[in-house]
Structure 1
């Protein structure tokens, strides 16, 4: 069914229609790429089945009913999938808008068919009785046959071999001379005539009875199928609707799979007749190159109100025709509802007509030469072209004497330009290049060519015409020198000069292109350096805050110690009841303690500096005039990246002194508690997976997990409990809401698990 829709694809011109088809394909591509759980098991032709059951008395056989059953399962699965993701895929939802899920059809079929698509033994009481009789009769036949066979074997009547089937009947292989010794019906004999295959008389009667039962069974099955088909007949219109939905679904899915294969995306669709392709690739060329493990050089091109017609020139086999065909093919694809292999920032408009003159259409029957065939097309183009027409002409003006073909092509080009058509035209004619350079709306472009290596680069450069490189290519393939010299003489001085100028221009364009690439690399390097500078600045700011904080804490400690000393002295003076001698002594002691404390602060034991020793990654260093120590993580030019506690800081080499491992060990021991906290935070995982756990076990794990998260100060945690019947989800959410520290509980995004995952946010 999907193939029929593909064969009916046409180029559309209505914006809304094109936009709808493109967005449907984009949404289905997203489903496939994100590996969404969309189960599509069967696509069968429901229209054929619906048409078959229209007539009274008709019926569907088991296989057809099973096809209907599996197709409807696909339909209902898809509808449920999109209903669970309401508004995420709005354009695909429109495929089945107002389409009900009539599950009675499935239930009616399930009463007759088993999961494998066969008639159930209990589809009707009569069928069950018949099948029971058949089973009993087969058992009787087997028993009787075994008895007769054993008797014949004991009397040596049987030829070599066991019981066999002939004409659908079970027979005993008897020696020909013994065939009169047993009553029965001979069905066959061996090629030599020495063995006959006989069905005993007693079994013959039983088998006839079984055959009658088989006929009864067949009649009962047909009666059941007719009754079921009669029940399904009122749903004919709905089945046709389901058929339409399945057909469209298959069609969109095929377009999405094709888009993935050619790495296509959806550009920005606009209503104006213009286009701007970024990194466009010809899909057929890309598929061909992929097999050869080659890459396609992307095309960047634009057509708009100012640049309406692009005249592409350049060497043969340089990619001019591929450039033009890429523009035309991608435009036809987009207006047929297909995604195209371009950057998603590209803009593609809508054209009412697409005219193409590609290849040689000479015809003996129509009495057309190559040139007259081209002129016939030009006449049609000029007569019907509008500002919303896209023109694609390959090798414009060829097929006749260049002296006359050039001016004729220029005249046609001028008329088309006056009609403000859009288009891409390839040519080698110099007069057309000059005309395009002097005419508004036209623009020259060329395919870049590496004239040092003598090979095309397949890169389109807009703004300047290109040389055909006729002499250079001829020389490269080894054409004789005398032929080349003679050709140069015959070409003429002016033409040689123009071609040389174009070659020089091409060389300059190549140099500019290389410099642009080099400049782009330098800009990227400068951008990286600027980002690194910002990072260094951020580290410096963080380090500055740490140092100020440490200084404040140290100052608070000194003041606190001094206050305690003063308070103790005052307390002792009061206890001695202001005795002058004691008071004097206490004051002296106070001054002495404060002086000692000051000296102690000023003369802190300096680390054993190892400044003259080379600092390497992993060494411990101390910031000069501070107690701050850290371990060297990186050495970047004249800067060191230090690990100071939980922070990373960047300092100059001149501001630090290397210290011994013994001193570093003391620092680590003094910071052991903060280290344990840091390790706990580092090792804590803000995600708890409880899928498959029982209720009590899950609650116990949640309790331990939340206590640790709250203690370490995490803003939120993620608990994965799965969907299932929702019991575990409800149990966990009721439990976490008992915590006063819990602010709220939210579902994960629908695309990443929905209500199977809970986010718990803390105050």
Structure 2
């Protein structure tokens, strides 16, 4: 699978395992970490990744899993197997504590059945044998000590010891007081010697008290005597203690015999604890490196998005620095990526990141990348990094490289990933380059996947002209002369040898001499690469600016289309109303004429009656006579315009509502849009002249559907400053028209640049009363509340 054997060390996988081991609670978990291997079984890889991902979810989003104590109960279970052996109190306490943890974990997952299926599979069909705990609980207390009443015999012995100790204490206290009153004792009180309670006597008085001398002071002036009466009682206590020990051994042996049938189950519990400790350590490491589970496919391909080297990420994290993310794709179309660029530009780190992350995935470890990344499965991983010259094997640097290339060419296939650093180096470039090119061509012919780094121009040219191989370069700021550590696929990179040498301060005459010594073609290629990179950056900056301008144009076109649609609808509504009014007038007029004719006929054309009917016709006609447009306009124009009035633009007949008056300028709301017009271009309109559709669109009080559909909240995280301000301005306009009291702007914390930009912008609006942060528990200064007047 891995070639050579030290590939894990070369890529940093061994260091990753050591960091995971540091999170283990038990030696069993650490031993399991040591056994982590790169796998090629797709189902196993997916299962182990899912387990780590589920445990990570528990640690971050759920109640803590009740895992506090892990002990090696496997060795204890193996000890129980042997007839005649017994476990000590401490060993039984370890089993008791471990089983309590096991049962608590199983209960935890039973409460969340189906939520963590891959972790639940760890104890599937595992019985909960609580009788083991009950047996131990009858013998041990909560501190792991033998209960005084573990058996009737032990209870009697404990009681006998207690009574004998009380009697011995009472007697020695009586003798000590008597000796003290006689002046026989030395300064001090009762003391312990050889585990016995003794009386300190002056040496000259030692014959006055019968007993056993256990010790004397350094000066010989004080002796420590155990009185004769107490000596026999203490011996009796000692006998009781021996009996107690024998009874405890008997109880522990009996308990061990009772546990012997459960040895296979204890081993299963041990396996569960070990796996939990192991998966927990992987999840904690994933949290440290911000690891996620990518999309896993059973194909020899990968697509890493915003990937970071885990070891570099942890190192930079301590220094409060960030790692430049890596975006790379290797598939059937782009099988091998040839990375070139300046020295110390990050080529090797880029390649090692790809190799290490792929190893982590195939070992069941979460990786620091976007969840949308895709990781495949490779059957073999071949690595050629560093100098593997060997004196013992008589291998030079180049010989070591060639031996690896031989293995690569012979053993690699379409499911192999190769990683080769500084391809072709170690010998004369005139010969090393063509050999490397031939090896690369052979590997490409076998559909091998992978990455190589090089400075050789012939490999760059070959990669540009060969299907399946793609050039890539590490970007370099040729103005400030520093690497950017960003991979750009599609073109080779210059080594910037002369530029870097010039920045370091190599004398100009040396540089000129070097330039004259290199071939004209090589100089031309390198210069072309530098110029291409510079032009690429200029094009990219121009593209960004054009995209920003195009977005602004698109927004204006959208607003224009909305306004056009609104005006067309307004015109259609006016025509419909006018037609309906004309139809009603004609209908009423016809009825009136018919009635008048009928009346004249009935009255036989009486002159007075006819005149009265004619006057009635004139009155009805005057009712439906429309005033001239000029007189109506003059009458309305003479009226004073106030905020809230409906007005009409004289040059377009567009109707809207006055939002604000500033000297000669009037701010008018036309539906969701606002415009500014001079006072002389505006005349007041009556509400009858304003179509219902416009009134509904222009006033928040009469538009329940508009208000219901309006949200006074906006999330501008990830937007550029200009786009965020544009979106906030549109929201503020609608909020003012609908009389909302406040807005909620979610801009995130970061470095606070976007927050300062937004707040500075909103301060220019007179309608904004004040702004404040969200509560610290709900986002703090990552959210701004904007209060409106």
TM-score, scaled relative to structure 1: 0.72
2:155 pairs with 1:128: yes
2:118 pairs with 1:85: no
Q: CA deviation at 1:656?
A: 12
Give 2:420's aligned residue. 393
Give 1:283's aligned residue. 310
Q: CA deviation at 1:211?
A: 0.8
Give 2:367's aligned residue. 340
Give 2:287's aligned residue. 260
2:222 pairs with 1:189: no
Give 1:437's aligned residue. 464
CA distance in 1, matches of 2:499, 2:209: 101
Give 2:325's aligned residue. 298
Q: CA deviation at 1:624?
A: 5.6
Q: CA deviation at 1:520?
A: 6.5
Deviations along 1:485-508, one digit per CA (max 9) or x if unpaired, are 111111122221111111111212
2:452 pairs with 1:420: no
Higher mean C-alpha deviation, range 391-400 or range 31-40: 31-40
Deviations along 1:375-401, one digit per CA (max 9) or x if unpaired, are 110001000010000010000000111
Counterpart mapping for 1:10-49 below 5 A: 10-49=37-76
Alpha-carbon contact 1:622-1:656 (below 8 Å) kept:
no
Return 5+ residue gaps in structure 2 as ranges: 1-27, 571-618, 624-631, 649-655, 685-701, 703-789
Q: CA deviation at 1:112?
A: 0.8
Identify which of 497, 506, 509 aligns with 1:479. Answer: 506
Q: CA deviation at 1:81?
A: 1.5
Q: CA deviation at 1:652?
A: 5.2
Q: CA deviation at 1:532?
A: 11
Identify which of 68, 72, 82 aligns with 1:55. Answer: 82
Give 2:254's aligned residue. 227
Deviations along 1:165-211, one digit per CA (max 9) or x if unpaired, are 11111111111111111111111111111111111111111111111
Deviations along 1:486-539, one digit per CA (max 9) or x if unpaired, are 111111222211111111112122334444555666678789x699979x99xx
Give 2:435's aligned residue. 408
2:519 pairs with 1:492: yes
Counterpart mapping for 1:189-588 below 5 A: 189-515=216-542, 518=545
Higher mean C-alpha deviation, range 335-344 or range 158-167: 158-167
Identify which of 197, 210, 216 aligns with 1:170. Answer: 197
2:36 pairs with 1:9: yes
Higher mean C-alpha deviation, range 253-262 or range 127-136: 127-136
Q: 1:639 to 1:360 in 2, by over 3 A?
A: farther
Return 5+ residue gaps in structure 1 as ranges: 545-590, 596-601, 613-619, 643-647, 658-673, 675-763
SS at match of 2:246: helix
Q: CA deviation at 1:109?
A: 0.8
Alpha-carbon contact 1:449-1:510 (below 8 Å) kept:
no
Higher mean C-alpha deviation, range 448-457 or range 11-20: 11-20
Alpha-carbon contact 2:658-2:668 (below 8 Å) kept:
no
CA distance in 2, matches of 1:531, 1:153: 111
Q: CA deviation at 1:132?
A: 1.3
Identify which of 121, 125, 132 aligns with 1:98. Answer: 125
CA distance in 2, matches of 1:630, 1:194: 113
CA distance in 2, matches of 1:6, 1:121: 42
Alpha-carbon contact 2:74-2:270 (below 8 Å) kept:
yes
SS at match of 1:42: coil
Higher mean C-alpha deviation, range 491-500 or range 312-321: 491-500
Alpha-carbon contact 2:658-2:667 (below 8 Å) kept:
no
Q: CA deviation at 1:368?
A: 1.0
Q: 1:518 to 1:349 in 2, by over 3 A?
A: farther
TM-score, scaled relative to structure 2: 0.69
CA distance in 2, matches of 1:519, 1:291: 39
Q: CA deviation at 1:451?
A: 0.4
Give 2:169's aligned residue. 142
Give 1:71's aligned residue. 98
Counterpart mapping for 1:146-161 below 5 A: 146-161=173-188
Q: 1:11 to 1:223 in 2, by over 3 A?
A: same
Q: How many residues in Structure 1 have an aligned counterpart in Structure 2?
A: 594
Q: 1:120 to 1:446 in 2, by over 3 A?
A: same
Alpha-carbon contact 2:657-2:669 (below 8 Å) kept:
no
Alpha-carbon contact 2:659-2:668 (below 8 Å) kept:
no
Q: 1:296 to 1:31 in 2, by over 3 A?
A: same
Q: CA RMSD in A?
A: 3.8
Q: 1:656 to 1:286 in 2, by over 3 A?
A: farther
Alpha-carbon contact 1:315-1:466 (below 8 Å) kept:
yes
SS at match of 2:473: strand
CA distance in 1, matches of 2:88, 2:639: 96
Give 2:743's aligned residue. none
CA distance in 2, matches of 1:185, 1:198: 5
SS at match of 2:197: strand
SS at match of 1:434: helix
Q: 1:5 to 1:523 in 2, by over 3 A?
A: farther
